[in-house]
Amino acid sequence: MKDNFVVYRDDRYVLGLENGNPFLSIEGKKYELSCQPFEPCLYISFGGKKLAAVRNSFDPSYAVLAFSEGKKVTSITGLTYDAPDFCRMLEYAARTGCSSISEAEEVFGGKETANASHPAEPPFSRYGSASPSGSKPFPGRVVSDETFNAVLSLYVDCVVDYCLVKIDKTETGEDAHRMALALACEHLFFDGDEPVWLYDISEACPEKIAVGKLFGPIDKQGKLNYRKAFICPPYGTLYTDKDFDKVNSALFPKGTSELEVFEWTTDWSEYFDDGNEWWGTLCLTVHDRSLDRFAVILASATD
């Protein structure tokens, strides 16, 4: 079970789970987040010292989970949050010692709230009830396939990045694909504890595509697709369709009849900046139901 997870990162904030517990880092200073689930009350602590107890607020574990699925959360006042807004509210609450969500939301000034004809969801209604512990590990993990890795190692000039992910069966459809993408980003976009590329998973937008499109032919005048990314990197290779097929036979050893594919936008991470200059970018999540795993396929390169 994956219990170390970053769902949002920018120049100021890092939001995620560590050892199954939600946290927020602000300019490198790490704050612990917890919840008394029956009120609910969000606690913000630093170094074991409680800084704020925000009544009628969120269970931070479920907010993090919602952001990983590309969703937003709505407070009891009707204000809707994305991940950056959630971080701003927490920072303000920690700094001022706010005791209620309405006080913490003063950081937003006159930001428009949800339409009064559509009352706000209670903090837990959309994402389930909080457990007494106030934390929920993410239901997924990165895995390794020695056979696939051995085949891929033959192609040292390949610019396509791969990551294999297992997601618990409780997550399905688009939500499971987004979670697989988030886990892959945490695995691929970091060098140790240091981020290589900033990203915001909540901004990634998916489109379900046919399996035939995933393995479609190269259109030299068209946009980048998977085959083109593998065979035609910016500086060229001698790779052929036969090589492409060899890699994918190892990646999907039971065939392609049980694949579900989502293609994602590529405007949500610095990883894609190089490819967006001219060569192109690629972001795919492929659920192989026959193996019960996801293959996350990314590409972005420049000369």
Name, in order, each residue with C-beta under 8 angstroms of 146's C-beta and a sequence gap of 6 or more: none
Which of 235, 206, 230, 240 minimizes the C-alpha distance to 298?
Answer: 230
Q: What is the pLDDT of residue 139?
A: 59
Q: Which residue did the predictor score with more confidence, 65 or 284?
A: 284
Q: What is the pLDDT of residues 97-143, one digit of tens each?
A: 888 888 888 888 755 443 322 223 333 222 222 222 333 344 578 99
Cβ atoms 227, 244 nearer than 8 A: yes
Is pLDDT above 50 for 191?
A: yes
Give the pair of three-digit tokens for residue 174: 């688009």
Given pLDDT bands bounded at 50, 70 and 90, which one contains residue 75? Answer: confident
Asked, as a colleague might, if the bond just before 40 is cis with ω within 30 of 0, I would say yes
Does CATH place domain 140-300 in 3.40.1000?
yes
Mean local confidence (pLDDT), 159-170 = 88
Q: Which residue did the predictor score with more confidence, 125 or 192?
A: 192
Q: What is the pLDDT of residue 103?
A: 86
Please tell me what DSSP assigns to residue 269: B
Listed by start position, the domains of the chain span 5-108, 140-300
In the predicted model, what is the mean pLDDT of the chain? 83
Cβ atoms 111, 79 nearer than 8 A: yes
Given pLDDT bands bounded at 50, 70 and 90, which one contains residue 302? Answer: confident
In angstroms, rounded to a whole number, what is the distance separating the alpha carbons of residues 94 and 232? 50
Residue 283 CA to its chain's centroid (Å):
12
Burial of 217 (0-12, 13-18, 19+ CB in 10 A): exposed
Q: What is the pLDDT of residue 48?
A: 79
Model pTM? 0.61
Burial of 15 (0-12, 13-18, 19+ CB in 10 A): buried
In angstroms, rounded to a whole number, what is the distance separating the alpha carbons of residues 18 and 38? 23
Mean local confidence (pLDDT), 273-284 = 93
Is pLDDT above 70 for 148?
A: yes
Q: Which of 56-70, 149-163, 222-236, 249-263 has the lowest mean pLDDT?
A: 56-70
Is pLDDT above 90 for 159?
A: yes
Q: What is the pLDDT of residue 113?
A: 41
Paired strand residues for 9:
14, 199
> Which contacts qualify for 157-160: CB closer than 8 Å, 24 or more apart?
157/233, 157/237, 157/239, 158/230, 158/233, 158/237, 158/239, 158/247, 159/229, 159/233, 159/234, 159/299, 159/301, 160/226, 160/229, 160/230, 160/282, 160/297, 160/298, 160/299
Where do we find the tokens 């040292």?
156
Residue 294 backbone dihedrals phi, psi, to 5 degrees? -110, 140
Q: What is the pLDDT of residues 8-46, one digit of tens each?
A: 999 899 999 988 899 999 988 999 999 876 556 898 988
Tell me the range of 182-186, 251-255, 277-281 where mean pLDDT is highest.
Answer: 251-255
Is pLDDT above 60 for 296?
A: yes
Buried b vs exposed e over 283-294: b needs ≥16 C-beta within 10 Å? Answer: bbbbbbeebebb
Q: What is the pLDDT of residue 83?
A: 93
Is pLDDT above 70 for 144?
A: yes
Q: What is the pLDDT of residues 198-231, one digit of tens each?
A: 877 777 899 999 999 999 999 877 889 999 999 9
Cβ atoms 279, 302 nearer than 8 A: yes
Angle between helices 60-68 and 173-188 (to 10 degrees): 90
Mean local confidence (pLDDT), 237-250 = 96
Name, in order, each residue with C-beta under 8 angstroms of 30's C-beta and a sequence gap of 6 or more: 23, 24, 46
